[in-house]
Structure 1
């Protein structure tokens, strides 16, 4: 038996919507422990029965009723999943009837449509943004004329994963620049960044947390020493204050929150799909 409640994100597509919504819901119950799993592409009755068997087995194994966050649009698939005996949470159900009434038309369920390639231009924009993020990672290229934004901070402050998220989810061309020891010797932005000051957003982090992250990357190195982390973070914060750069601590913030704050602060509005 286990004290971790089994939770499944089930979808006829990628499962991203179910997982995103489900995770947001579960974070409201910090006193509980959850064992989560995603079951994507449940788009046929056979796949639904396989998923139901997995869900049923988890309830038997843990002695706790499983929870299913479901975004399958086919009612037959949802009925089969419900045979697992789990608590079913249909993400779309509460919204369909009000929308049908308001719009004066019936829905037309399309399996796997939520994350399909609806707009090729938007899709290619996201792919191009990802390529941009990869080629402008860690200051590898400093031609920022085409950048939508530039994340600046000390090494391991969360710049790269945030840039990747912004590219994949919003199609934003995000570059990042790591402040080096030489950069941190002054209280001003590096000369190469000054022409793009209006695009810059600073990321800071608690030195103790930075120490932990760097220890995992380069154990017992000068780079990972707590004193190094403290001095670098302090110097970077001086630059941000002197240059009046908007800044956010990544210590306890998720990538999603960081990205939303950056976009809002810099006035960039991009639809995800």
Structure 2
């Protein structure tokens, strides 16, 4: 098997760099035969930092023997022009999308730094913080208080991805998410915990392939009954049986990213 092509990618921004990184990742994932070394340069807000970034990008290109790829979301055109003078392949989010959009709308954008991830919309920011706090307080069945405030309640056997999915929904969409593990006592009883039955419309389930669950649990508790393949098969089969019987919508998280799982939940529960 031939060695993969290796390229260095920089994400350069006058803000957090998350937008540049998200844009870059969506494009880079289309190239499976290339191995990307990814470097983020955030908060580039003056000429000195821009010049330092150029030096760093050029040095990396010399080290690699191949020019780097640069994704930028620099609003300040003077700083953007400096970075684009580097010996690299540069792609600008704003030049590619903002200029044509200005032409279509017939007006100039305000070119304000940090609009994507700042706190300009204080109500939205406050909502996300409240959602994160709620989600952390309701992780893994810690409490069943205030479930009426939740937007989503995830249920699944242990290690199916409930916690990362819950936090992603809270951080990205400002949703209050609780999650509860389905345990052998629930299967013996043959029904959901009574605290969850009252919130059935908010419930969404996750499942996973037994072999994958065993791998994940082995990292946590090696050579235990908890991680054994027969036990994983039993728990998953019982959980899926319960979700079918209770009419809970669910999906298999084995090969899906958190983003895909979250998008499905949003669609299925018709959440905005």
Which TM-score applies when normalising by structure 1? 0.94
Write the distance in 2 (CA, Å) between the matches of 1:98 and 1:23. Answer: 23
| Pairwise CA distance, 1:83 | 2.4
* Equivalent position to 1:177, from 154, 177, 180: 180
In 2, are the aligned partners of 1:154 and 1:180 still within 8 Å (CA)?
yes
Aligned length: 268
Counterpart among 135, 138, 141 of residue 139 in structure 1: 141
Q: Is the 8 A contact 2:138 2:144 kept in 1?
A: yes
**With structure 2 as the length reference, what TM-score do the two structures score?**
0.94
**Structure 2 unaligned residues grouped into runs of 5+:** none
The equivalent of 1:220 in structure 2 is 223
Residue 97 of structure 1 deviates from its aligned partner by 2.6
SS at match of 1:176: strand
For the 8 Å contact 2:214–2:228, the answer to whether it is kept is yes
Q: Does 1:130 align with 2:162?
A: no
- Match of residue 53 from structure 1: 55
Moved more, 157-166 or 2-11: 2-11
Partner of residue 36, structure 1: 38
The alpha carbon displacement at 1:113 in A equals: 2.6
Deviation for aligned residue 1:184? 2.3
User: Could you say which residue in structure 2 is the equivalent of 1:103?
Assistant: 105
CA-CA distance at 1:189 after TM superposition: 2.3
Distance in 2, matches of 1:239 and 1:79, equals 59
- Maintained 8 Å contact 1:70/1:90: yes
Deviations 1:89-131, CA, capped at 9 Å, x for gaps:
1112122233222322112212233211111111111111111
Tell me the distance in 1 between the aligned counterparts of 2:259 and 2:192.
27
RMSD value over aligned CA atoms? 1.4
Q: Which residue of 1 aligns with 2:247?
A: 244
Residue in 2 that maps onto 1:86: 88
Give the corresponding residue for 1:18.
20
**Contact in 1 for aligned 2:5/2:33 (Cα 8 Å):** no
- Which has the higher mean CA deviation after the structures are superposed, 8-17 or 78-87? 78-87
Partner residue in 2 for 1:208: 211
Is contact 1:202-1:246 (8 Å) kept?
yes
Gaps (5+ residues) in structure 1?
A: none
